[in-house]
Structure 1
Amino acid sequence: MQTGADETPVRCVFGELGEVQADLICVPVFEDEGSEELRSLDAALGGSINRARASGELRGKTHELFFADVATPTWRTRRVLLVGAGTRARYDTSRARTVAGAAGLAARDRRVRRLVFVCRAAGERAPMAQAAVEGVLLGAFRDTRYKSEDNGSSPLTSVEVYFGEDVAPQTRAAVERGVLLAGCSNLARELTNEPGNLFTPRVFADRACELASGPHTTVEVLDEQAIAAQGMGLLQGVAQGSVEPPRVIVMRYEPEDAVPGPVLGLVGKGVTFDSGGLSIKTADGMERMKCDMAGGGAVVCAMRAIGRLAPSVRVIGVVPAAENMPGGRAIRPGDVLTAANGKRVEVLNTDAEGRLILGDALTLAQRFGATHLVDIATLTGACVVALGHHASGLLGAPDAWVESVRQVADRAGERVWPLPMFEEYAEQLQSETADLTNVGGRPGGAITAGMFLKAFSGGLPWAHLDIAGTAWYDTAQPHHTKGATGVGVRTLAALPFEVAW
């Protein structure tokens, strides 16, 4: 299904703001800037800014919106949106992204088709321009594929980023990069929003072939026989309760000028629907478990971006896709499964299935040559309890690799927070029957899940991103609609470029 989620045209414009033609011009406004800085704009708006400041309608608080009509007859655009940007000192790329997101969301809701966003960058322009483009396109996203009648807002047909003067080539390149990354993030959102009955493991694999294939990227899909040949007993065990067979999506990016040595392995959890299995979930909120493949969707769409950005580092993406259902053949609490690396796992809770399929996928990534690993998954409710919905959990080893991933995520605007990996946590996974259990009790649940995955990392540099709290918004945000977020795409796509290999 082609949706055009990554096809909105964006370009840079400069010159006199009044000469720019659009349906709406969006201008960030700071809490602590004086009237002189906005004098010419205020004049064009007939003094609306000063009046709104005086009345308290416009204070510049983050994500505050104030619409004004243009009074100057020579201006080609007749409507301006002032978006609160907070204090100038805190206006970094992350803030610029959410401010632009608020503008994109407001434009979408008002049926704006041609939007201009004014880039107010105090420092280097390129990162701020990229963040602004990402924000606008992420904010303007709307998924109406399954509505028979869409009486809502119209999609943006064009976005322009305005600068007072012409910009350097690196800024234009940054804008193009922002368009690509936002588009791939929105594609990941579409995948994650898919209903479980229409998005089975086989459909997921077909979509991955469509999205990730490219001149230097190949996609291979392992069926049940190939999965069995790889000895992936953990994945087979999770999938056996469903009538839908599992798949493993293997994506390989091989540039012609590949740097010898490092191979980045990206592994994403692809549970297309998670009922919990025999350890069944409560009915409340189970409908959201269609989003349990958000990590896998992020890997597929990051591989799409990587193929187009063309780093010189080889990348392998592995997504194990399955349903976790309580059928007559489903695994039972107390069952023992044999992993692809030979370890035997006692399953104490069938609702801790994500770590099982990731364990086999991490092993597979190593077999295919990965030297550095990052996995991403909606893994634990414990991570949501610990960090809420504003940061993903980060675990791994060694510390230097984990810190590299943290820095890349921070620059991408996808905040993460490290959790400890003390060896004592591994003691909670001790089994009397097998090599380890798949759960370690309630205390430190996000960490013990990470310790389980560490047992399948093969001693390689490995990082784990738990996106259980960040992959889905239950309520709309000022800069982001309700539903899937596409988290992880920008971080994973940046790793081949920004890590010191």
Structure 2
Amino acid sequence: MECKIVQYEIQNMTVDTIILSVFEGVLEPSGATESIDRSMNGLIRELISSGDITGKLGCVSVIYPRGLIPAMRVLIVGLGRREDVNMENIRIASAQAIKKARELRAKEVCSVIHGSGAGGLSHPAASQAVIEGSLLGMYHFDQLKSKVETGMEISTLTLVESDPSKFAEVETSVTRSQKITQGVFLTRDLVNLPPNMATPTHLAQSAQQIADEFGMKITIGDRDWAEKNRMGAYLSVAKGAGEPPKFIIMEHNGAREELDTVVLVGKGITFDTGGISIKSSEKMEEMKADMAGAAAVIGTMKAVGLLNLPLRIIAIAPCTENMPDAHAYRPADVVTASNGKTIEIISTDAEGRLILADALVYAKKYAPKAVIDLATLTGACVVALGKNTVAGMFCNDSNLSGKLLRSGENTHERVWPMPLWDEYRKNIESSVADIKNSGGRNSGVGSSAIFLKEFIDYPWAHLDIAGMALSEKDEGYTPLGATGYGVRLLVDLLQNW
């Protein structure tokens, strides 16, 4: 779907569908909605008075103007209460409206910039929310279906801005938002692919395509490369894998060492059986999403390349399967990470922290101002914070945590501070090695983060996204399946660095 911005009076637009909005509890339409209402002889006002149009968030009404304006139909979407208006509600409303337009087989759609008038949002913020909600709401994964319904795609979404003084900044916002959503789409596609397709090699190929497109330096380390770099923790997980492991490193402005360096690390377990400590078969199919952290940093790098951000940004994605076979690592094994620390294996299902350990050690070579890792690390985090609500954030630097909290609120990809206390370390003490990889059932989320802390000596945040990677329903702009969580959060952080 092409998105563009025009300076025009919306009631004069020759399109098949116009999208307007109203607030809940408002009896008198305002702005562009009021202009259209006048052209339609007060029909919108009548429908508000009768209760047919409620303004409740995401509720969409369809009106056929029958020649009173050039458009074939008008959609009125509710924004909720005016006092509650924010970018997230605009995203939700925009998604619901565009999905209704798609259901009606609209081709050319024109929309007001919801929330920028009576809502009080800035024009760039409101237009960003409209584009994000519309594009993300239109996403659907049907690449693997043998039959796909045709004729359902909207060709053009046009935003109308009648104020010439606002046009340039809105146009910039629209362009930027489209670039960011491309990164989200890539992440969703990678996570939605089945594990026989989204292999470490496939992730590496996706990263290579981005690097080629934007002139990024890329390193794709194989098993021999990892052995030369003494990555015993990462390689232990890969021992049972049938698919070759790939350690992916992407560098945006890699040679620009004078720039602030931010390293993004993503866990890339392309399928997690649990290894020898095998999981229950119930919902094991969801373990295809155990590479959502890697997918998020790869998707972020696509957006970074499109935006050409003025930072030195490094993405590291250690990728492998975690499978049981005769060569797989075992409970009671002791492995050595690339910083020399020895690790007793208690559970082979605590594998994500092992591959992250060597990635976090490798990140140090870039002298980073900050390192942020994303990982579907623990089910305990889902128990603690809920599903599709917020990611757990463990951070050793107040400045970095503050930035992540702000970006989380800006994007609604929220994070919540979790404790990183030294008291948790006793849970990973080992009698035979420096540390062990699991602290037991009652210390899941805390011990996983304190384990990772053993491998860093720089400003660092660990985001446990186990509850955020997949959605069990299609709701608002979040589809059933992969959410693409993390891309918008990270891009907002980097843009406002």
Q: Aligned equivalents of 1:206 and 1:407: distance in 2?
A: 33
Residue of 10, 13, 32 corresponding to 1:17? 10
TM-score using structure 1 length: 0.93
The CA deviation at 1:370 is 2.9
Q: Does 1:245 align with 2:253?
A: no
Distance 2:274 2:40 in 1: 57
Corresponding residue for residue 84 of structure 2: 90
Q: 2:137 — aligned with what?
A: 139
Report the equivalent of 1:31: 24
- Checking the alignment, whether the CA contact within 8 Å between 2:27 and 2:45 is kept in structure 1 is no
In structure 1, C-alpha distance between the alignment counterparts of 2:351 and 2:18, rounded to whole Å: 48
Q: Is the 8 A contact 2:254 2:312 kept in 1?
A: yes
Distance 1:48 1:283 in 2: 56
Residue 278 of structure 1 contacts residue 325 of structure 1 at CA under 8 Å; is this kept in 2? Answer: yes
User: SS of 1:35's equivalent?
Assistant: coil
Structure 1 residues 56 and 283, CA gap change in structure 2 (3 angstroms): farther
How far apart, CA to CA, are the structure 1 residues paired with 2:323 and 2:155?
A: 42
Matching residue of 2:62: 67
Q: What letter matches 2:447 in structure 1?
A: T
CA–CA distance in structure 2, aligned partners of residues 152 and 110 of structure 1 = 13
* Corresponding position: 1:57 with 2:59: no
Alignment check: 8 A CA contact 2:92 2:477 kept = yes
1:100 alignment counterpart: 94
User: How many residue pairs get matched?
Assistant: 489
Separation in structure 2 between the aligned mates of residue 33 and residue 150 of structure 1, nearest angstrom:
41
The alpha-carbon deviation at position 255 of structure 1 amounts to 7.0
Q: In 1, are the aligned partners of 2:40 and 2:69 still within 8 Å (CA)?
A: no
Match of 2:104 in 1: 110
Aligned runs of 1:102-501 on 2, under 5 Å? 102-120=96-114, 121=116, 122-151=120-149, 154-166=152-164, 167-254=166-253, 258=256, 260=258, 262-388=260-386, 389-457=388-456, 459-499=457-497
Shift of 1:201: 0.7
SS in 2 for 1:469: coil
Give the residue type in structure 1 aligned to 2:289: C
Give the direction of change, closer, same or farther, for the CA distance of 1:51–1:442 in structure 2 (3 Å limit). farther
Residue 110 of structure 1 deviates from its aligned partner by: 3.4
Question: Displacement, 1:312?
Answer: 2.0
What is residue 4 of structure 1 aligned with on the other side? none
Bigger mean CA deviation after superposition, 237-246 or 8-17: 8-17
8 Å CA contact 1:102–1:480 kept in 2: the answer is no
CA shift in 2, pair 1:113/1:447, >3 Å: farther
CA distance in 2, matches of 1:127, 1:229: 48
Q: CA deviation at 1:293?
A: 0.9
**Separation in 2 of the partners of 1:425 and 1:450?**
9
Distance 1:244 1:255, change over 3 A: closer
Structure 2: distance between partners of 1:100 and 1:46: 26
Structure 2 residue identity aligned to 1:346 = E
Contact 2:290/2:376 (<8 A) preserved: yes
CA-to-partner distance for each residue in 1:183-215, whole Å, 9 max, x for gaps?
A: 210111001101101121111111111134344
Paired amino acid for 1:94? E
Question: In structure 1, the residue corresponding to 2:442 is in which secondary structure?
Answer: coil
Amino acid at match of 2:154: L
Residue 308 of structure 1: how far off its partner (Å): 2.1
Compute the RMSD of aligned alpha carbons.
Answer: 1.9
In structure 1, stretches of 5+ residues that fail to align are 1-7
Spell out, residue by residue over 1:65-102, the C-alpha distance to the aligned partner (whole angstroms, 9 max, x if none).
2111124x252211122111111122111221222122
Using the TM superposition, give the Cα deviation of residue 377 of structure 1 relative to its aligned residue in structure 2, in angstroms: 1.1
Aligned in 2, Cα 1:78/1:444: closer, same or farther, shift over 3 Å?
A: farther
Residue equivalent to 2:73 = 79
Which residue identity lines up with residue 56 of structure 2 in the other structure? Answer: K
Aligned equivalents of 1:208 and 1:116: distance in 2? 35
With over 3 angstroms needed to count, the CA separation of the structure-2 counterparts of 1:479 and 1:106, relative to structure 1, is farther
Indicate how the Cα distance of structure 1 residues 182 and 215 shifts in structure 2: closer, same or farther if over 3 A, else same. Answer: closer
Matches of 1:487 and 1:196, distance apart in 2: 19
Question: Which range is displaced more, 296-305 or 58-67?
Answer: 58-67
What CA distance in whole angstroms lies between the structure 2 residues aligned with 1:305 and 1:401?
A: 21
User: Which SS does the other structure have where 1:241 is aligned?
Assistant: coil
The question of whether the paired residues in 1 share the 8 Å contact of 2:261 and 2:366 is answered with: no
Distance in 2 (alpha carbons) for counterparts of 1:66 and 1:126: 26
**How many angstroms does 1:269 deviate by?**
0.8
Amino acid at match of 1:65: V
Output one character per residue of 1:239-298: Cα deviation in whole Å (capped at 9) or x when no partner: 111111100111001178x47253110000111111111121221211111111111111
- Which whole-Å CA distance do the structure 2 matches of 1:425 and 1:372 have between them? 23
CA distance in 2, matches of 1:434, 1:372: 29
Task: Give, as a single letter, the amino acid of the residue that structure 1 aligns with 2:270.
Answer: T
Greater mean alpha carbon deviation, residues 393-402 or residues 151-160: 151-160
1:115–1:320 Cα change, 3 Å = same
Structure 1 distance, partners of 2:397, 2:372, is 12
1:10 corresponds to which letter in structure 2? C
Structure-2 separation of matches of 1:42 and 1:178: 30
Q: Which secondary structure does the structure 2 equivalent of 1:464 belong to?
A: strand
Identify the range of structure 1 (245-254 vs 363-372) with the bigger mean alpha-carbon deviation. Answer: 363-372
Measured in 1, the distance between the counterparts of 2:268 and 2:416 equals: 23
Worse-superposed segment, 135-144 or 439-448: 439-448
